[in-house]
Amino acid sequence: MNSESSAEKARSAEIVIHHFFSDLVGWLELQASKDGVRSISFVEAPESLSAASDDPVISELLMQLDAYFAGELTEFSIPLAPPGGTLFQRRVWDRLMAIPYGETRSYGEIAVEVGVPKGARAVGLANKKNFLPIVIPCHRVIRSNGDLGGYDSGVAIKQKLLQFESRKNRH
């Protein structure tokens, strides 16, 4: 028996999927609904490419991603679908959005900022559950010793994003 409610089915039916390519990080799969951006995922090259989207949320996200990767946008202003996650994860994600472009914070600093001073590992786990990398910039969180730490889509991508923002921030 399928336990998915009719409301959940209707909501999932509203999801629009689009693919975006960046020379910096490769392919991204973008998902949106009428509520806002639902997820951004790093993916292998898709088997088929999305046609131009007439979905207003996807169109706005594409414009903002283009501007970000051109070095013209430092803060996203796209509407986000309700994120789910735990209260702690949402508090961490809110703090990530406050990290200025081109800067980093340590997992421990974020833990202190969200009121859990010994919660650096929990911050790392919340980052791993981030449904909107780049827009919610979990790549800006590093270890207290300056090492990059982990990144769900690979440390190489995290390093590229940090180097990109660092170069653009110096000009």
Instruction: List the catalytic residues.
Output: 138
Question: Both tokens of residue 126?
Answer: 């919340």
CB–CB of 64/73 below 8 Å?
yes
Q: Which long-range contacts (CB under 8 A, 24 or more apart) does 149-157 make?
A: 149/107, 149/124, 150/124, 152/127, 152/128, 153/25, 153/42, 154/42, 157/25, 157/26, 157/42
Distance in angstroms (rounded) separating the CA atoms of residues 99 and 122: 18
CB–CB of 54/80 below 8 Å?
no
CB–CB of 108/64 below 8 Å?
no
158, 162, 164, 166 alpha-carbon torsion, rounded to 10°: 180
